[in-house]
């Protein structure tokens, strides 16, 4: 966007165009990344790769999804210092390069892992924090809805690209399919052109008819006063001792040591642990969904007497999951706009936790589909609200770093959840009930952490402010 178009007031309609750019980037990135497991069988049978084992091939999936949050910290640090558009351009270029390099030069699965999966991981990191940071700069009142639109891209991509990739790999093989999928990188080019941070309107120039400067200054002053009072209360609780991070968190670009100190604040830790605990449930579901459903009727398991569900049929359940992710992202974002981000997060986590527990009782395709629709809706809602929670408490020139640092918690879930779930079901003779209980507990605990560290504290501040206003 041109500078004249970015100089708009908060909650300007043009901000939804920036949210759309985030949607398009996630459509491209997650749609292509989530298709990797589809190529497992074709790679396993490929003589040019040396007939690698399925387990070795799956390592690429862990690298692609698990390492992305780690790179996200660096990308978050950079996006506070360079335009989000530049980071998105790098993301698109790296994903395009990874698809072509691996499909052209890889002669073993290790080369695929480093030429495609590693670049895809960095690409994903380069688009997530910049997209969220750019979108959040445009909104205050409608931030939940905007983030919902931004983060619905993952559901759109998962519902469209994997199904096409599944057909192409059967017809052409994984190498040509990689090259065909690179055409989706054109979506990233469009998204890059649409993305931009909002710039404050000029104070003495054009456009007085469409912008009331006095009103924005008043609103900004009230927000600054509120946050100043909050910081003062926090300082009083620390016997009057302040740190540079506390003083400059919302107003100055902090140096690395100040950023490190600020990561021990309640605002950061609350968001970090909400994401950490939720990531265990999310990656557990991604890992066990198809194996659990396809274990129905399998000999040697507790489900041997159940009507079997073939693997190719079980994999179609992710279509329902992806579609309801789209719906959940937008509707929960709208709910957060009308209520609070904390309420929307706690509600989704609680309902999602209940239905994760019910998942352990499913035995038919229809039952699995219905529950995965609800769980997908709730998880997408939590994804959509989480960046708004981060932006609400850690706003300012360091927001990109905090986005990346909070998302770093996903590394723990991405790498630890699959082995935890594998061990649980193996210890209990293929019984996935304990896996479902684990996911339910994680979702419920995430709701509790959000309530204790964010929602309850926010309610206390609102009540105190109302009482002070009444006394005044």
Among 176-185, 189-198, 409-418, the minimum mean pLDDT is found in: 409-418
**According to the model, what pLDDT value does residue 437 have?**
92
pLDDT at 457 over 70: no
Instruction: Give me the mean pLDDT over the 317-336 stretch.
Output: 84
Question: What is the rounded distance in angstroms from the CA atom of residue 174 to the CA atom of residue 196?
Answer: 35
Rounded Cα distance between 354 and 443, Å, is 9
Closest by CA position to 365, among listed 427, 434, 289: 289
Tell whether the model's pLDDT for residue 65 goes beyond 60: yes
Please report, rounded to a whole number, the percentage of residues in the chain having pLDDT higher than 70: 83
Which of the four pLDDT bands, split at 50, 70 and 90, describes residue 471? low
Cβ–Cβ < 8 Å for 387, 147: yes
**What's the mean pLDDT in 314-323?**
79
Contact (Cβ atoms closer than 8 angstroms) between residue 98 and residue 119? yes
Give the pLDDT confidence score for residue 238 in this predicted structure.
42
30/383 Cα distance (integer angstroms): 13
- pLDDT tens figures, 8-62: 888 888 889 999 999 999 999 988 987 887 787 788 888 998 888 766 777 777 7
Cα end-to-end distance, the chain, whole Å = 45
Mean pLDDT of 197-208: 60
Does 404 have pLDDT greater than 60? yes
Q: Find where tokens 């497992």 sit.
A: 40
Task: Tell me the β-bridge partners of 7.
Answer: 199
Instruction: With cut-offs at 50, 70 and 90, classify the pLDDT of residue 101.
Output: very high
| pLDDT band at 225; cut points 50, 70, 90 | very low
pLDDT of residue 289: 80
Range with the lowest mean pLDDT among 34-43, 86-95, 158-167, 455-464? 455-464
Q: What is the pLDDT of residues 163-178, one digit of tens each?
A: 788 788 888 989 999 9
pLDDT of residue 222: 46
Taking residues 123-143, report their average pLDDT: 84
pLDDT band at 345 (very low <50, low <70, confident <90, very high): very high
Q: Under 8 Å CB-to-CB from 318, ≥6 apart: which residues? A: 158, 162, 289, 290, 372
62: buried, middle or exposed (CB in 10 Å: 19+, 13-18, 0-12)?
A: middle
Per the structure block, which two tokens stand in for 169? 């790999």
Mean pLDDT of 364-384: 91
Q: What pLDDT sits at residue 209? A: 38
Of the listed ranges 257-271, 276-290, 402-416, 433-447, the least confidently predicted one is 402-416
Predicted confidence at residue 249, as pLDDT, reads: 66
What pLDDT band is residue 278 in, cutting at 50, 70 and 90? very high
Predicted confidence at residue 395, as pLDDT, reads: 79
The pLDDT value recorded for residue 349 is 95
Domains and CATH numbers, the chain: 15-194 (1.20.1250.20), 265-463 (1.20.1250.20)
List the structure tokens of 121: 């991981």
3-class secondary structure for 423-446?
HHHHHCCCCCHHHHHHHHHHHHHH
| pLDDT computed for residue 340 by the predictor | 87
**The Cα angle at residue 317 between residues 66 and 443, in degrees rounded to 5:** 55
Q: What is the mean pLDDT of the chain?
A: 80
Main-chain phi, psi angles of 199, to 5 degrees: -105, 140
Interatomic CA distance for residues 71 and 88, integer angstroms: 14
Percent of the chain with pLDDT over 90: 24
Predicted pLDDT at 272: 92
């Amino acid at each position: 966007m041109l500078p004249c178009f970015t100089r708009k007031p908060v909650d300007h309609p043009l901000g939804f165009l920036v949210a759309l750019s985030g949607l398009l980037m996630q459509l491209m990135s997650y749609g292509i990344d989530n298709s990797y497991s589809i190529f497992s069988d074709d790679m396993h049978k490929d003589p040019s790769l040396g007939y690698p084992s399925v387990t070795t091939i799956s390592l690429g999936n862990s690298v692609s999804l698990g390492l992305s949050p780690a790179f996200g910290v660096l990308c978050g640090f950079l996006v506070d210092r360079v335009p989000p558009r530049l980071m998105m351009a790098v993301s698109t270029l790296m994903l395009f390069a990874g698809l072509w390099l691996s499909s052209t030069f890889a002669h073993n699965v290790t080369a695929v892992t480093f030429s495609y999966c590693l670049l895809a991981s960095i690409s994903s990191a380069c688009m997530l924090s910049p997209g969220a940071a750019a979108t959040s700069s445009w909104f205050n009142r409608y931030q939940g809805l905007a983030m919902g639109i931004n983060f619905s891209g993952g559901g759109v991509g998962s519902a469209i690209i994997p199904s096409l990739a599944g057909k192409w790999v059967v017809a052409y093989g994984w190498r040509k399919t990689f090259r065909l999928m690179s055409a989706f990188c054109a979506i990233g080019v469009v998204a890059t052109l649409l993305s931009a941070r909002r710039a404050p309107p000029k104070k003495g120039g054009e456009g007085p008819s469409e912008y009331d400067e006095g009103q924005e200054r008043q609103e900004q002053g009230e927000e600054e006063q509120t946050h100043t009072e909050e910081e003062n209360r926090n300082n009083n609780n620390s016997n009057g001792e302040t740190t540079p991070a506390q003083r400059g968190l919302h107003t100055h670009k902090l140096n690395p040591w100040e950023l490190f100190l600020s990561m021990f604040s309640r605002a950061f830790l609350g968001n970090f642990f909400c994401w950490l605990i939720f990531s265990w449930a999310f990656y557990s579901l991604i890992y066990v969904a198809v194996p659990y459903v396809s274990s129905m009727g399998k000999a040697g398991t507790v489900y041997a007497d159940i009507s079997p569900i073939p693997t190719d049929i079980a994999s179609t359940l992710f279509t329902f999951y992806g579609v309801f992710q789209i719906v959940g992202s937008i509707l929960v974002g709208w709910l957060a706009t009308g209520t609070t981000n904390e309420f929307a997060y706690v509600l989704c986590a609680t309902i999602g936790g209940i239905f994760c527990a019910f998942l352990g009782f499913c035995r038919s395709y229809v039952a699995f589909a219905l529950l995965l629709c609800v769980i997908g809706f709730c998880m997408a809602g939590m994804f959509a609200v989480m960046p708004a929670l981060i932006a609400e408490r850690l706003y300012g020139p360091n927001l990109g770093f905090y986005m990346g640092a909070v998302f770093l918690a996903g590394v723990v879930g991405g790498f630890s959840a699959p082995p935890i779930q594998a061990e649980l079901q193996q210890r209990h003779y293929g019984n996935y009930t304990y896996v479902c209980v684990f996911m339910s507990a994680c979702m419920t605990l995430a709701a509790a952490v959000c309530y204790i560290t964010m929602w309850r504290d926010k309610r206390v501040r609102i009540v105190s402010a109302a009482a002070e206003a009444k006394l005044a």
